[in-house]
Amino acid sequence: MISNGATLLDNHGRPVNYLRLAVTDRCNLRCFYCMPEEGIKYLPKSALLTYEEMERLVRILAGMGVNKVRITGGEPFVRNGLLPFMERIAGIAGIEDLNLTTNGVLTFPYVKELKAMGVRSVNLSLDTLDRARFRVMTRRDELPAVLKTFHQLLDSGIEVKLNMVVMENKNTQDILPMAQLTEIYPVSVRFIEEMPFNGEGVRFGQFTWNYRRILEELITHYPAINKLADGANATAYGYGVPGHKGTMGIIAAYSRSFCGTCNRIRITAQGILKTCLYDDGVLDLRKLLRDGASDGQLEGAFRGAFRSRAKDGFEAEAHRLSQGPVSESMSTIGG
């Protein structure tokens, strides 16, 4: 591979070292905030990047300073061959941190293998601990399987972050029960502002549960809550309560207050490069790959794309060309 070894930098001087790679757009749940009940129109298999194509892109990016990879989707475990693929990614020189985001339904039989290959941290989506509400939120009755994954992950020693999307009239009564998990488990519970990536674009009329309101709710229950120091590229505002084993985080995903330190690059399952969650794709990597681009040309294309990166999610959204306002399903992006 030809690489000048220089760290990938964007036009605002931000180093880019964290790849979020969606391995599929398919999913076995139908989360209310992510896709409609009938699902989304899935891409034909030939439109998805092959594992070999993805591995090649990761190798090229690793040569440009990307050292952290998160596997996401859709639901990663609905794609056959996920674990051997992840093992190959774990073995790429320069990849120091391999993580996974999963809904946990199919995950528990593989926790030992994830640990063995060096997966450091798993983000598990869990919006409620109430079985009936889980069924309403995800349109599937799979809470027991997700909880099994949760406990297996804790037992394995893999770091666990729980992602709860906070939705008006759906699960705000679950904020406290989810926060209470931090009293007894060494887990990070992250409360996420809902974004309009629901596959419909409609229904997103009122947005009332922003990060400030979520924090107020937490303070009501835990007056002793204190702010923790956040990492350099953190998207979550971290909080702790004295005596708790775990911590809490609030992700202002819709308010977009964290863009200034963004170090992320996203590749969708069909090989579209996104330099921001809110853009509608800036480069067709699948076409480049299948047209026979060399490693050097792909590296040049990555660098070129980051030379005109939006400064934040608002600018990226304003510059969307093809799809109008945000409406695509998060399942096609990976979160």
Q: Which is nearer to ligand SAM, 17 or 125 (CB)?
A: 125
CA nearest to 198, candidates 335, 323, 31, 33: 33
Q: Which is nearer to ligand SF4, 182 or 331 (CB)?
A: 331
Q: Which is nearer to ligand SF4, 27 or 301 (CB)?
A: 27
For residue 328, which phi and psi values (nearest 5 degrees)? Answer: -65, 160
Contact between 298 and 167 under an 8 Å Cβ cutoff? The reply is no
Name the binder of 334 from ligand SF4, ligand SAM, none, CB < 5-8 A by kind.
ligand SAM
Q: Which of 16, 27, 49, 162 binds ligand SAM (CB under 6 A)?
A: 27
Residues 19, 111: Cα–Cα separation, whole Å: 22
Residue 297, helix vs strand vs coil: helix
Does residue 158 belong to the site contacting ligand SAM (CB under 6 A)?
A: no
Q: Which of 17, 24, 99, 102 binds ligand SAM (CB under 6 A)?
A: 102
Q: Which is nearer to ligand SAM, 110 or 197 (CB)?
A: 197
Contact between 156 and 111 under an 8 Å Cβ cutoff? The reply is yes
Measure CA 254 to chain center.
14
Residues 59, 212: Cα–Cα separation, whole Å: 40
CA nearest to 168, candidates 254, 256, 104: 254
Name the binder of 49 from ligand SAM, ligand SF4, none, CB < 5-8 A by kind.
none
Q: Which of 163, 268, 270, 275 binds ligand SAM (CB under 6 A)?
A: 163
Measure CA 131 to chain center.
24
Does residue 198 belong to the site contacting ligand SAM (CB under 6 A)?
A: yes
* Residues in contact with ligand SAM by the rule CB under 6 A: 27, 33-34, 72-75, 101-103, 125, 163, 165, 192, 194-195, 197-198, 253, 330-331, 334-335
